[in-house]
Amino acid sequence: MPVVDADAHIDETDETWEYMDEEFVKYKPVTVMQTFGESPPILPWGYNRYWFVDGKIRVRRYRDDVRTASTTETRELLDVQARLAQLDELGIDVQVIYPTSFLMAMSEKPEVEAALRKSYNRWMAKKWRESNNRLRWVALLPMTGVWQETFDEMRFAKENGACGILKKGIECGDRAAGDSYFFPLYQEAKDLDMPVCLHVGTSNPNLTDADMRALSLYHFTLPVLDAFLSLVMADVPDKFPGLRFGFIEAMSSWVPYLMAELKARETRTKWSFNFDLKSDLLKDCNFYVACQTVEDLPYLMKQVGEDNLMAGTDYSHADSSAEIETLSLIHQMGESASISKEAARKIRDDNPTRFYGL
């Protein structure tokens, strides 16, 4: 089994937008800067460069090479071979890549958002081909309401190195993940054997990471937890057996809490909620959760088992989820017996390989 980095990132660059259809080229993001002259910065370092998209600004961050343990060339995939060389140093065989800018909505116009996402997908397909299948990626889908357009993009992505589809916990008009609106999407994902990857982020186009309040737990992280609850209560795993769902970069310590919440709803409010609560919830629902090394993994595995946990480095980012040595640290946990060697292997190898269908 390969060692899999289950949650890595890239920083979008000018090349990302070079694949937009001609009618949407006028919406191509351009870089704008906020200058300070001789005055000290009034914003956190790295928050004075932006993508200007359809009249809105989205942060195009500067990164600290030391803090991120990366370079512009590896973060932006300007040098794919350099990134692969770093994976070799880290003992990582396959890295699954998520976007950065698209963790926020880029445009309030669905057709513009779709054009940007398609361009990103073609850029990532090119980088995948250069990586000898080691840089896998999660596809961004048009969510314009025209499902055939969505399905066509899924098939393109599947044929060009994508190993999952990105979905926000709340999107398309504040719809929860268990909303029947998304059932055609889930059926197609099932048919294509592409897992649904619920990563932290927001689909609200009125929020921008230029305002750091948009990165709050409420806006950015809780939609992932809501998706977990919503999918179970809508019996989505029963409706689409075999479809895998991943909950990414939201930690995992919340899982026992939501399991208790679901138990309470099942036993005390059947008059209002009627759903099938599985005895082995993660396994029976094909739910996979990305954990982090700062969590109490021995306790967590007693509660939820060890067969559905994964881990990622959050490569290129510098937030609280970022730890370039994540997979090495989990290996060390196994070697020191703080968790079993088998559990460490599952988190690093078996579980992400199975989840992403690698």
Under the banding of pLDDT at 50, 70 and 90, the label for residue 272 is confident
State what percent of residues in the chain have pLDDT above 70. 97
Enter the pTM of the model: 0.95
Which pLDDT does position 67 carry in this prediction?
92
Please state, as a whole number, how many other Cβ atoms lie within 10 Å of the Cβ of residue 349.
18
Q: Which residues contact 181 (CB under 8 A, 6 or more apart)?
A: 172, 175
Examine the pLDDT at 35 and tell me if it is beyond 80: no
Among 121, 115, 102, 117, which residue's Cα sits nearest to residue 205?
102
Higher pLDDT, 252 or 64: 252
Examine the pLDDT at 181 and tell me if it is beyond 90: yes
Examine the pLDDT at 104 and tell me if it is beyond 60: yes
Which structure tokens are listed for 354?
């199975």
Under the banding of pLDDT at 50, 70 and 90, the label for residue 237 is very high
Asked if residue 186 lies in contact with residue 243, where contact means CB atoms within 8 angstroms, the answer is yes
Dist CA 93 CA 96 (whole Å): 10
Dist CA 260 CA 263 (whole Å): 5
Which pLDDT does position 6 carry in this prediction?
98
Q: Which residues pair with 234 in a beta bridge?
A: none
Instruction: Write the CA distances from 306 to 92, 109, 343, integer angstroms.
Output: 20, 42, 6
Asked if residue 68 lies in contact with residue 322, where contact means CB atoms within 8 angstroms, the answer is yes
Which structure tokens are listed for 89?
């140093």
Q: Beta strands 162-167 and 196-199: pairing type?
A: parallel
State what percent of residues in the chain have pLDDT above 90. 82
CATH T-level assignment (fold) for domain 4-24+66-356? TIM Barrel (3.20.20)
Average pLDDT over residues 214-234: 93
How many Cα atoms within 13 Å fall on the side-chain side of residue 295? 24
Dist CA 124 CA 357 (whole Å): 18
Which pLDDT does position 206 carry in this prediction?
87
Average pLDDT over residues 135-143: 97
Higher pLDDT, 33 or 314: 314
- Give residue limits of the domains in the chain: 4-24+66-356
Examine the pLDDT at 43 and tell me if it is beyond 70: no
Dist CA 230 CA 223 (whole Å): 10
Three state DSSP letters for the chain: CCCEEEEEECCCCHHHHCCCCHHHHHHCCEEEECCCCCCCCCCCCCCCEEEEECCEEEECCCCCHHHHCCCHHHHCCCCHHHHHHHHHHHCCCEEEEECCHHHCCCCCCHHHHHHHHHHHHHHHHHHHHHCCCCEEEEECCCCCCCHHHHHHHHHHHHHCCEEEEEECCEECCCEECCCHHHHHHHHHHHHHCCCEEEECCCCCCCCCCCCHHHHCHHHHHHHHHHHHHHHHHCCHHHHCCCCCEEEECCCCCCHHHHHHHHHHHHHHCCCCCCCCCCCCHHHHHCEEEEECCCCCHHHHHHHHCCCCEEECCCCCCCCCCCCCCHHHHHHHHHHCCCCCHHHHHHHHHHHHHHHHCC
Average pLDDT over residues 62-78: 94
| Residue matched to tokens 């359809």 | 54
Q: How does pLDDT run across 313-357, given as a tens digit for each residue?
A: 999 998 889 999 999 999 999 999 999 999 999 999 999 999 999
Dist CA 321 CA 294 (whole Å): 9
Q: How does pLDDT run across 4-15, given as a tens digit for each residue?
A: 999 999 999 999
Examine the pLDDT at 108 and tell me if it is beyond 80: yes
Which structure tokens are listed for 116?
């940007």
